[in-house]
Structure 1
Amino acid sequence: MGVLETRVKENNVLDSDDKIRSPVLLEKTQHSRDCLDGLQLSALKQAGWKYTFCNKHQDSSRVYSKIDREFGNIKWIQDYGHVEAIYENPGVSNHSPILIKVCPRPPTRQRPFKLFHIVMNHPEFESIVTKMWGRRFKGTRMQQLWAKLKAMRSGSRGLNAYMSTYSQKLQKAR
């Protein structure tokens, strides 16, 4: 995995709701946003603590803000969009430790099931539908319907595979 590290030395927040108990200067947030737009950077997925910095003062003068962020460019986010920045409990530091969670890429989805119309004319099709539709499944009515359709899909795969080669066999015979 390629690592993209860009350091932007800004102690400014990006939005007005990124700070508690202290004013947010809109011109400074605009400058930070313009900088990120110019660099074509976007924030990674985030989890954990919202505010990444605390000045650790007593009660009413305590300020929380989100000044620490992780960014990636468009290409990096497309390739590693499953990467997540997790903000931990600040502990003794003023800043929250940040963990970059690099988990395996989510599995790709299966190819969608396609039922060929010619399969419905196959003599075994009706018996497969009757058998699968007659099975009992637990759950809500929607879950039962989904389970029955999934069972029919697995039951008719063999017919689908057989019939998908049917057109090839027909062309070969011609």
Structure 2
Amino acid sequence: MIVGSWNVRGLNDPSKIKEIKHFLAEKKMTVCALLETRVRSSNMLKVQRKLGGFWSWCCNYSSSPRGRMWVGWQAAEVCLRVVKQSEQVMVSEVTSLDATVEFIFVSVYGLHTINDRKSLWIELLEVIANCDKPCIIIGDFNAIYQVDDRVNGAMVSEAETQDMEDFIQRGNVIEAPSMGFYYSWSNKGLGTSRIASRIDRAFVNAQWMTQFPEVKVNYLPNGVSDHSPLIFDLVNSREDGSRPFRFNNILCEHKDFEETVTTAWREGQERYKMKLVWNKLKKVKVALKALHTRHYSQAHLKVEELRRRLAAIQALPQIQHDERVQIDEKECCEQLRYWSRIDDSIIRQKSRITGCRKVILIPSSSSLQ
């Protein structure tokens, strides 16, 4: 399921309509928010038909006559229901037809002044406070929250960043992991006159981080707009193309388990509390994955190897009188029982139903200070 947001900066030019249609088809988009369309309501259906008959659309003309936001979806793939809309925000519930994926999709198009955006942050905090599902807030915020978010142009002031910082802290959200370009907007100027900034972003809540930890937002080239499209894949995203890490309970029995978790937990650093916890958990995951790889990886192969070794020892003629061979037999039997128990534990855990409740083991509070 490919989902995204793009400030297209006008959708009246036939050539731009063609490029947007090509983008939606090429990227195999399932859900997409098109921002700042500038299409009059009287021309809305005409333009939407040109984008393809498979798309369903909901727009916020009742709140903004200039057609600031269009949310589109492929009805053959997902169900989408808009539950709230205003001049700067559209909130939608998205569910795949097989009901395996469900999340809240919040499209944002922030107004151009700090004062006009005050209501935006209030709306977003209300959405987060009332949301018990995975939620992503994505779009053009027209705001930045750190000095590095702008190249050239006026210096970044504290007044520009304060509201977004407050929203992140009060809403307990973090910026979604991203890839691709860093700056999402450019004035397309020449030389030192070119100004670039990161004003298009995506924020996610704790439920999103739990359910979609590997999802990254891809910042693509601007194309026919001066803003980057932001897209992500909810179904096929896997970090570095690898399988997701699954905690095996047998790790708890290793002598280095507690020290490994405690050391990794202490490494995470971040100024925002929610992101701090997220970074610490990622550090713990990496450390436990390394511990599993070093000591328990491919346990079934170890069992097979020990079976062959035990059979070879027991086939030796001198086993009836050579004490050294008898000791080797005893040690091999003990190792076989040990690794067989580990292999059984891993198999039992893998055989459980995927949808069962997962238990997260966290070190005691005293060890994490």
So what's the TM-score if we normalise by structure 1? 0.63
Whether 2:92 is the aligned partner of 1:92: answer no
CA distance in 2, matches of 1:74, 1:162: 37
SS in 2 for 1:4: strand
- Map 1:24-173; keep pairs closer than 5 Å: 24-102=156-234, 103=236, 106-109=243-246, 111=248, 152=302, 154-156=304-306, 159-160=336-337, 164=341
Q: Could you tell me the percent identity over the aligned residues?
A: 25
SS in 2 for 1:69: strand
CA distance in 1, matches of 2:248, 2:168: 38
Higher relative contact order (CA 8 A, sep 6+): 1
2:149 corresponds to which of 7, 18, 24: 18
Displacement of 1:36 in angstroms is: 2.5
CA distance in 1, matches of 2:188, 2:339: 70
Unmatched segments (≥5 aa) in structure 1: 115-145, 165-174
CA distance in 2, matches of 1:11, 1:82: 27
How many residue pairs end up in the alignment?
A: 133
Contact 2:303–2:340 under 8 Å retained in 1: no
Contact 2:188–2:194 under 8 Å retained in 1: yes
- In the superposition, relative to structure 1, how do residues 154 and 109 fare at CA in structure 2: closer, same or farther (>3 Å)? farther
CA distance in 2, matches of 1:87, 1:26: 26
SS in 1 for 2:223: coil
So what's the TM-score if we normalise by structure 2? 0.32
Cα deviation, 1:16-36, whole Å, max 9, x if unaligned, reads: 011100211122202111123
The structure richer in strand per residue is 2
AA aligned to 1:107 is: P
Displacement of 1:45 in angstroms is: 1.0
AA aligned to 2:244 is: P
User: What value does the CA root-mean-square deviation take over the aligned residues?
Assistant: 3.3
